[in-house]
Amino acid sequence: MKKPNKIAVLTSGGDAPGMNAAVRAVVRSCAFYDIECYGVYQGYQGLIDGNMKLMNARSVNNIVNKGGTFLKSARCLEFRTPEGRAKAYKNIQDKGIDALVVIGGDGSFTGAMIFQQEHNVPVIGIPGTIDNDIYGTRYTLGYDTALNTVVEVIDKIRDTASSHNRLFIVEVMGRDAGHIALNSGIGAGAEEILIPEENRGLDQMLESLQRSEKSGKSSSIVVVAEGDKTGENVFEIAKYIETNLPYYEVRVSVLGHMQRGGAPSCFDRVLASRMGVHAVEKLREGASNVMVGVIDDKMVLTPLEKAIKGKSEINNNLLRVADILSI
Ligand code: ADP
């Protein structure tokens, strides 16, 4: 297998803190190994439009600490069609690009895998999503930063909750995965945590809140992942609690997009740096159609197909810890 001479890097799908640090690591590793590196703007849309620029080590100065992605991201419908992907292929062929690094989530990896199959361009994925819901890595880029953001906000909400004997329901991101809810909930000392992986129903929550109130708690925090499967949205859950536990004044706080922004934590910067270097080194060794991940603090590769289809399980022991501590 021929070592790549020109690599393109793009960020795609939902942005996540640490994406810039990963791009920087890819660009600088390419410079280190004498590989030309193109930065592609706006994800797959940039591949289709030929919107890319040759980068050198200095092109990525002062971005290791920035949230978002300076390459921008986009949801690109055209890349879902063979015609769109053929245009993208023509552009990278014209430039002599012979490998691709895709930083994104499972949608982006699906696109990368199909592109690789159709056009035989080596691709390697770097998992960037705050939800931490990708198989083949213990951590995705942006997850640690998002957790820290959420915990900081819940700490502030708790100040208000305890000053007014209120119960706050805080909705956090996680449509299919409860990693953010479970970990931020434990970190911020939430009384109850509702996640998509486990539907215990609302009655168990009510009982537990009742118990806490009887034992002297005057305020409570309930953290709910947006994909929670109780079948109720946070406002309905609030109404349900208020109806059944009238001594609580219930308030809802939906954290929303603030969870995606902000400077990446040191953990995410280091993770991004390791993943970026590993991606380039593995492309040089002929790897393709795989995602870079970290498991037990070791860099590992997982076939893209497995990364897309596999499920990143939550740690059941954390559920137990949350239960014990909510006494
Ligand atoms: P994420 O990577 O965060 O999961 P999306 O699901 O929005 O985000 O996917 C990002 C982009 O990847 C899409 O806008 C599209 O261009 C590309 N993509 C997603 N699914 C496919 C697919 N089945 N075929 C081709 N491209 C896809």
Over residues 257-279, the pLDDT tens digits come to 999 999 999 999 999 999 999 99
* Alpha-carbon distances, residue 100 vs 6, 209, 239, 283, 314 (angstroms): 9, 51, 49, 9, 31
* Residue 324 domain flag: no
* Residue 186 domain flag: yes
Query: Count of alpha carbons within 13 Å of 85, Cβ hemisphere only?
Result: 17
* Residue 212 domain flag: yes
**Do 251 and 183 have their domain in common?**
yes
**Do 233 and 92 have their domain in common?**
no
Q: 111 CA distance to ligand 1 centroid (A)? A: 6
**Do 228 and 276 have their domain in common?**
no
- The CATH number assigned to the domain holding 164 equals 3.40.50.460
* Residue 318 domain flag: no
Domain termination residue (choose one: 260, 279, 294)? 260
From the candidates 131, 133, 144, 268, which is the catalytic residue? Answer: 131
Measured in whole angstroms, how far is the alpha carbon of residue 269 from the centre of its chain?
Answer: 14
- The CATH number assigned to the domain holding 69 equals 3.40.50.450
Q: Is the CB of 38 under 6 A from ligand 1?
A: no
* Residue 244 domain flag: yes
What whole-number distance in Å separates Cα of residue 67 and Cα of residue 269? 10
By the 10 Å C-beta count (0-12 exposed, 13-18 middle, 19+ buried), 74 is classed as middle
295 φ/ψ sector (left φ>0, alpha ψ -120 to 50, else beta) = beta
**Do 154 and 181 have their domain in common?**
yes
Query: To the nearest 10°, the Cα dihedral for 90, 91, 96, 102?
Result: -110
Q: Is the CB of 108 under 6 A from ligand 1?
A: yes
**Do 270 and 137 have their domain in common?**
yes
**Do 31 and 57 have their domain in common?**
yes
**Do 138 and 268 have their domain in common?**
yes
pLDDT at position 201? 84
Which residues make Cβ contacts (< 8 Å) with residue 152, sequence separation at least 6? none
What whole-number distance in Å separates Cα of residue 191 and Cα of residue 214? 14
Do the Cβ atoms of 167 and 219 come closer than 8 Å?
Answer: yes
In terms of residues, how long is the chain? Answer: 327
**Do 211 and 163 have their domain in common?**
yes
**Do 31 and 92 have their domain in common?**
yes
In the chain, the percentage of residues whose pLDDT exceeds 90 is 85
* Residue 315 domain flag: no
pLDDT at position 261? 95
Residue range 202-234, pLDDT digits in tens: 888 899 898 888 888 888 999 999 988 888 899
* Alpha-carbon distances, residue 85 vs 14, 89, 273, 289 (angstroms): 20, 6, 29, 16
- Residue-level pLDDT, tens digit, the chain, 327 residues: 678 999 999 999 999 999 999 999 999 999 999 999 999 999 999 999 999 999 999 999 999 999 999 999 999 999 999 999 999 999 999 999 999 999 999 999 999 999 999 999 999 999 999 999 999 999 999 999 999 999 999 999 999 988 888 899 999 999 889 999 999 999 999 999 999 998 888 888 899 898 888 888 888 999 999 988 888 899 999 999 999 998 889 999 999 999 999 999 999 999 999 999 999 999 999 999 999 999 999 999 999 999 999 988 999 999 999 989 988
Pick the residue whose CA is nearest to atom 7 on ligand 1. Answer: 13
* Residue 176 domain flag: yes
**Do 134 and 190 have their domain in common?**
no
Q: 106 CA distance to ligand 1 centroid (A)? A: 7
131 classed as catalytic: yes
Q: Is the CB of 110 under 6 A from ligand 1?
A: yes
What whole-number distance in Å separates Cα of residue 194 and Cα of residue 223? 6
* Residue 319 domain flag: no
What whole-number distance in Å separates Cα of residue 103 and Cα of residue 10? 6
Which residues on neighbouring strands pair with residue 36, listed in sequence order?
6
Q: What is the largest CA-CA distance in the chain?
A: 71
- The pTM assigned to this predicted structure is 0.96
Per the structure, the complete domain to which residue 170 belongs is given by 144-260
**Do 128 and 149 have their domain in common?**
no
In total, how many domains does the chain have?
2
CA-wise closest residue to 123 among 19, 279, 278, 277: 279
What tokens does 246 get? Answer: 């009238």
**Do 168 and 21 have their domain in common?**
no
What whole-number distance in Å separates Cα of residue 322 and Cα of residue 308? 29
**Which atom of ligand 1 sits closest to the CA of residue 104?**
2
CA-wise closest residue to 275 among 29, 58, 8, 14: 29
